[in-house]
Amino acid sequence: MKLELGYVPINNIQFGQETCITGTALHVNADELATILREDERITSLEVDIARPGEEVRIIPVKDVIEPRVKVEGKGGIFPGFMSKVDTVGSGKTLVLKGAAVVTCGSIVGFQEGIIDMTGPGAEYTPYSKTCNLVLNITVKDDIERHEKEECIRLAGLKAAKYLGEAAKEAVPSYVETYETPSLIEGHEIYKDLPRVAYVYQLQSQGLLHDTYVYGVDAKRILPTFIYPTEVMDGAIVSGNCVSACDKNTTYAHMNNPIIKELYSRHGRDINFVGVILTNENVTLADKERSSEFTSKLVEFLDLDGVIISEEGFGNPDTDLIMNCRKIEEKGIRTVLVTDEYAGRDGASQSLADAHSLANAVVTSGNANEVIVLPPMKKIIGNHEAANVIAGGFNGSLKEDGSIEAEIQVITGATSELGFTKLSAVGY
């Protein structure tokens, strides 16, 4: 399967009479967009705002971040199962509004949503301080269940990203990247002298607003399956979870998964990147055993030499991470794990909730319990009081001067277990 990503650079975003791209500026008709989103009668109020890199702006509480893209050639459309039919995506041509993002903001569960600062020390911990953000501050009806509130805000974000993506449909990209994965048999013949490597992609699926969607299906309903890496780039995986902000995989992070991109950069050179194995992170022991058995069986069936395994979340999902690692290693197949740590504010506590001697190659994206002070911002988009209740914050995190003292756990993407961050840690 072959996918061409054409990048249309966006260095500014502003409101205008027409939604279009002029040079590197994205103009947005906020009224037109709001009218489209308000078709969902569960929305009671909607504010469309803008946050640009370097501005003294804080967005809180953040739900998701989504990159606008549009398919211009090939099967299916962006976000299959939600915004387009359930066709297999990942081939043809897709245009990317690189530098632009949709950020959804609005309280759903309170304690597991995040913060994006567009400047200051907090901005250094999140990749979304570098994007030009169209922010949707959404309030939904009080008399609906929380999972329905989450769905409402999730769909609004996807609709907005699709709407912005359409503005690039006739654009000429400044550069194009091509990603291609041959079939298993073809790949084996072409790269027969290279080690066969795949990516085991754990998706948050613990339920109770800890959900991820694959082609519109809740990942806890799937058995581990095998997909082309390029399907992920076309929005086949959508975030629907409210886990701790620091290691929540946003939809934007899925679409730009750096593990997939790094494996592609090595493909045909020193590895044969065979593809992606999707698995889940459920809550019962039986579900964990079932999924890890199917995952290790797929790894063996594909005759792999090694895998990279990434996690989403912490605590309960650590068991899935170690279980997958152990069962795959016991088949003689090498693993590398990507995770973050919750080692206490002094870094002296046990980093993961589970461990095994076979988990001896681990990449860490840092300690989420590290404490940071976020200075006051001139503009707040959303609800500042959420700082006192979101995971990593505490009663009194929000100070009278508008500063916030909290763990970096509150910052969206700070310890991304996809490596979509600048943070890591080293052992001594």
pLDDT tens for 112-145 read 689 999 999 999 999 999 999 999 999 999 888 8
Length of the chain: 428
Q: Coil, strand, or helix at residue 45?
A: strand
Q: Which residues of 404-424 are buried (b: 16+ CB within 10 A; e: fewer)?
A: bebbbbbbbbbbbbbbbbebe
Whether 105 is catalytic is: no
How far apart (Å, rounded) are the C-alpha atoms in residues 192 and 178? 22
- What single-letter DSSP state applies at residue 331? T
In DSSP notation, 138-184 reads EEE-TTS-HHHHHHHHHHHHHHHHHHHHHTTTT---SEEEEEE---H
With CA atoms as reference, report the closest residue to 354 among 381, 325, 334.
325
pLDDT at position 241: 87
How far is residue 43's CA from residue 137's CA, in Å, rounded to a whole number? 11
Can you name the residues that pair with 27 across neighbouring β-strands? 14, 20
- Largest CA-CA distance found in the chain, in angstroms, rounded: 65
* pLDDT per position as a tens digit, 140-194: 998 888 888 889 999 999 999 999 999 999 999 999 999 999 999 999 999 999 9
CA atoms in the 13 A half-sphere facing the CB of 281 = 27
Distance CA 177, CA 168 (A): 17
Strands 237-239 and 272-281: unpaired
- Give the residue from 137, 238, 221, 174 showing the smallest Cα distance to 24: 174
Taking 50 as the pLDDT cut, the residues of the chain under it are none
Q: pLDDT by residue (tens digit) across 216-240? A: 999 999 999 999 999 999 999 999 9
| Pair of tokens at residue 109 | 């569960």
Q: Which of 105, 242, 246, 325 is catalytic?
A: 242
Q: What is the pLDDT of residue 425?
A: 64
Q: What is the distance of C-alpha 421 from the center of its chain?
A: 11
Task: Give the per-residue pLDDT at 345.
Answer: 87
Q: What predicted TM-score, i.e. pTM, was given to this entire model?
A: 0.95
CA–CA–CA angle 146, 413, 319 (5° rounding): 75
